[in-house]
Chain A
C-alpha cells in the first residue's frame, strides 16, 4: 500500500527534474504535493517536500524529506548539517579557502575574453531578482597574451550578408556608443575606446559585383548606412586609390570603423567584477556529467547528458581538482560527451582547439597583421626632398578591404597603416605558435595592396604580430545556443574573425537563452548548433 502511494510521487519527481533540466537552470527548491485522490488512510504521506540543492553530487536524489511530524524534520536538518561538514560540502572549518573560487556556482563560463565577459555582464544585468545567480568565469591567462580579443585589429562593420550578423553588429555599435552608460562603475574614470568612425570600404571585382549589390540591399533593409560607389566616384573621393579591376565598391557611412579592443575588455572586466561575477584562474580540463536515455518521437534512443562538475586546473601547483598533474601548456581537447570520449555520429562540438579526429568544426586560425609606415607625407605644392613620391592615404582613409582579401587601415596620425590578409585554408599555418611569417607579407599581403594604393610601393614594415581566428569551417558564422545533447551547456563560439564586433549582442543573446530559454531581442536561431546536424549552411560571404 505504501509503495503504491510513493510511486506516483517518485515518478513526478523524475518528470520535474526533466523539466528543470531542459530549461537549463538549477532549481533551488521545488515543492510538490501528492494528489488528494488516495484518501485519508494515507494521511502520513499525503504531502511531502523534495529539496534539491545546488549540490551537484546529489542531483536527482531527494536530499531531505519532510513529512508530517516534527521528528522527520529534525532528522533531515541533521542530515543536511552532516553533509555540509563532509569534504564536498560548503563549510570547511579547518582552513580558510575564501580566496579560492567557489565550489558551486550557477553558471560557469569557460573563457574570459570579450565574449565570455559579455555573457557574464548580460547575465548579471538581466537576472531577476538581482543577485539571484552566481556566475564564475574561468580564464587560463589573465594577461590575455594570446587571446584573440587583445590581438584583434578592432574593426566593426555592418557589411555582412546574413541579416542576423548585421543586427548583431548594429546593437554592438549602439553598445559601444553608450559604453559609459552600460559599463559605468562609481568612482572609476569613464572609458575611452578611441572609436574611429571612418567606415569600411569593400572593393569588388566584376564577378563579385552582383553579390555585393544584393548584400547592400540586405544591409540597407536592416538599417545599415551603406552606399554603393562606382570606380569614378571612388577616384573622386579617394584620389590615392587605383581602381583598376574594381567594378563596384560599398562604403559604410555610419556606425563603422575601428576601436581599441583592450579598452573594451578591461571595461567589461571591471564592470562584471563590480557586479559580483567571480573569476577563476585556470584551464578547464574536464567535465563530469551524468546521462539519461530517452526516446525521440521516431523511436530512436538518444542519450542526454547533464554536466555536474567542471574541473579546472590552475597553473600554480595548487590544483584543486587533481584530474591531471601539471601538464604542458597546450590545452587538451575538450568534448562535452561525458567521460567516454566522442561518440560516433556526433561532430566535434567546436571547442576543440586542435582537430579532434582530423576534422574539427571550429578551430583557431592564425591571422597576422602588419604595421607599416607609409610614404613620407608632404603638404600639397611642396617638392619632396628625395624623389617624387605619391601622397599616401590621408586622414579620411576608411578600412579598405580589397577584392583579393587583403585589407589595411590608417593607424594614428603619423602616416602609419595596419594591414594584413587571411591565409586560405590550404596555406594555413600551424596554430600551435604565433610566429609571424614575413615571407607571407612579401608574397601575399604587399602585392595586392601596392597595386591598389600606388603610394604603398615605398612601404616599410615596422612591426608585426599574429592572432587567432575562431574559424568555423562549416559556414564561417558563429555557433550560439544550447548543445542539443548536453542539456545544460551553451555555445558562443566560432565567429571567424568578427567575434569582437558582435560580442555585446551575442552576450545578450546567450544570457536571454540561459535565463529565458529563448532569444528575445535578436533571433539567432539560424546560428544554433542544430544546423550542423541538418546540414543547413548559413554562409557568410563577407569574411575577411
Chain B
C-alpha cells in the first residue's frame, strides 16, 4: 500500500499559484475612462478574474486539506499504546464514540474534549465504533481497520465515505457483525456489491442512500448476497410499478426501515 501513496507527495501542488502574467493584460484591456471613483465591486472583481479564480481554487484546496488533516494517522499513539487505543483516539478526535470490550461508551463532549483514560487499557479490544456524521474518509479508515475485533461499525451520514471505502472493509470480515451506512450521500449499489466479504454480518442498514439508483432492487440483491444477514433498507416495493406480473415476496419480509 506504500507504493500508491508515495508519488502523491512528489507532485507539487498547483493550487498555491499566485497571480498569473495575464493580470497585466486585463489591465491593459480595461478602458482608461473607467477610472471613476464609484467603480462597482463587480467591476473590480471582473478586472481581476484570474486572481479571483486562484483564490477560489485556494479555498477549495484548503477545504480538501482540512479533511485530509482530520484523517491523519496517529502513529505515535499507535506505537506507544497499540492499535486499539490509536483507533479509539482517532474516532474520538473526529467527534465519534467508542466502546471497549466490557466498558461503557466513551464519547467526546460538545467542545470536542474527551478523557484519555482509555489509554491505560492494556490491549482491550474495541468492540463498537460510532462514527456518525464524522469526516472519516478512505485514508482515515486505516485506523479503523486496525481494530481487528470490531463487532459494530456505524457510519451513518458520513459525507466522505464512498464506494472505495466499502471495498476496503474486508479485513474486518471475521468479526464485524453490524454495519450501518444509512444516509451516506456517496454510497451507491456498486460499493454495496463489495460487502459480500463480510460473511459474519448480521445487521446491515442501507436505508436512505440517495446515490443508489434503485433502492428496492438493491436491497433484494444485497439480501441475496448476504443470506444470513438482516438488511434494513428501503421498502422492497419502493420504485416498482404495481402490476399483475408482481409475485408475492412474503418470505423476504421487510422490516420497517
Question: Using a CB–CB distance below 8 Å, which chain A residues touch chain B?
Answer: 125-126, 130-131, 167, 170-171, 173-174, 177, 181, 184, 186, 194-199, 222-223, 253-255, 257, 379-382, 394-397, 410, 413, 508, 520-522
Contacts and interface: CB of A to CB of B under 8 A. Distances in A.
Contact of B5 (A174, A382, A413): A174
A395 B189 contact: yes
Contacts of B227: 380
A413 B218 contact: yes
Contacts of B225: 394-396
Nearest to B53: A186
Contact of B1 (A194, A223, A413): A223
A520 B10 contact: yes
Contacts, number: 101
A184 B196 contact: no
Interface stretch (B98-106, B119-127, B163-171): B163-171
B252 A379 contact: yes
B1 A521 contact: no
A198 B222 CA distance: 14
Nearest to A128: B12
A177 B11 contact: no
Given A186-B60, A223-B1, A223-B4, A394 B224 contact: yes
Contacts of B7: 171, 174, 508, 521-522
Contact of A197 (B14, B57, B194): B194
B138 interface: yes
- Going nearest first, the 10 A-B pairs with the smallest beta carbon separation are A197-B167, A396-B196, A174-B4, A196-B190, A395-B221, A521-B7, A223-B3, A395-B193, A170-B4, A197-B194
Nearest to A175: B4
Interface string B161-193: 001101110100000000000000000111111
A198 B60 contact: no
Given A195-B164, A223-B3, A223-B4, 7 more contacts: A171-B7, A177-B164, A395-B189, A395-B193, A395-B221, A395-B225, A396-B194
Interface of B: 1-5, 7-8, 10-12, 14, 17, 20-21, 53, 56-57, 60, 64, 138, 163-164, 166-168, 170, 188-194, 196-197, 213-214, 217-218, 220-222, 224-225, 227, 247, 249, 251-252
Contacts of A222: 3
Decide if the interface of chain B is mainly helix, strand, loop or mixed: helix
Given A196-B190, A222-B3, A381 B251 contact: yes
A253 B170 contact: yes
Contacts of B197: 253
A375 to B, nearest CB: 14
B21 A131 contact: yes
Contacts of B10: 520-521
A257 B194 CA distance: 10
Given A223-B3, A254-B167, A381-B251, A413 B224 contact: no
A395 B224 contact: yes
A174 B164 contact: no
23 contacts: A130-B14, A130-B17, A131-B21, A171-B3, A171-B4, A195-B163, A195-B190, A197-B163, A197-B190, A197-B191, A223-B3, A254-B167, A254-B168, A254-B170, A379-B251, A379-B252, A381-B251, A396-B196, A413-B213, A413-B221, A508-B7, A521-B10, A522-B7
Contacts of B60: 184, 186
Contact of B214 (A131, A380, A413): A413
B224 A186 contact: no
Kindly name the residue among A177, A181, A257, A413 whose own CB sees the greatest number of chain B CB atoms within 10 A.
A413
A184 B58 CA distance: 12
Given A186-B56, A520-B10, A197 B164 contact: yes
Contacts of B1: 223
Nearest to B252: A379
Given A174-B5, A177-B164, A379 B249 contact: yes
B57 to A, nearest CB: 6
A126 B12 CA distance: 8
Nearest to A124: B14
A186 B57 CA distance: 7
B157 to A, nearest CB: 19
A158 to B, nearest CB: 10
A171 B57 CA distance: 24
Nearest to A198: B193
A379 B224 contact: yes
Nearest to A396: B196
Contacts of A223: 1-4
A201 to B, nearest CB: 13
Given A125-B11, A130-B17, A394-B221, A173 B4 contact: yes
B167 to A, nearest CB: 3
A163 to B, nearest CB: 10
Given A130-B14, A223-B4, A379 B220 contact: yes
Nearest to B249: A379
Contacts of A397: 193
Nearest to B190: A196
Contacts of B168: 254
A203 B219 CA distance: 30
A69 B219 CA distance: 85
Contacts of B224: 379-380, 394-395
Nearest to A391: B224
Contacts of B170: 253-254
A381 B227 CA distance: 12
A278 to B, nearest CB: 16
Contacts of A194: 188, 190
A389 B11 CA distance: 54
A395 B252 CA distance: 17
B8 to A, nearest CB: 7
Contacts of A197: 163-164, 166-167, 190-191, 193-194
A131 B168 CA distance: 39
B17 A167 contact: no
Contact of B196 (A196, A255, A395, A520): A395
A395 B192 contact: yes
Nearest to A173: B4
Kindly name the residue among B11, B213, B252 whose own CB sees the greatest number of chain A CB atoms within 10 A.
B11
A395 B223 CA distance: 10
A222 B6 CA distance: 13
Kindly name the residue among A174, A177, A396 whose own CB sees the greatest number of chain B CB atoms within 10 A.
A396
Contacts of A257: 167, 190
Nearest to B52: A186
A119 to B, nearest CB: 15
A323 B40 CA distance: 54
A379 B12 CA distance: 53
A394 to B, nearest CB: 5
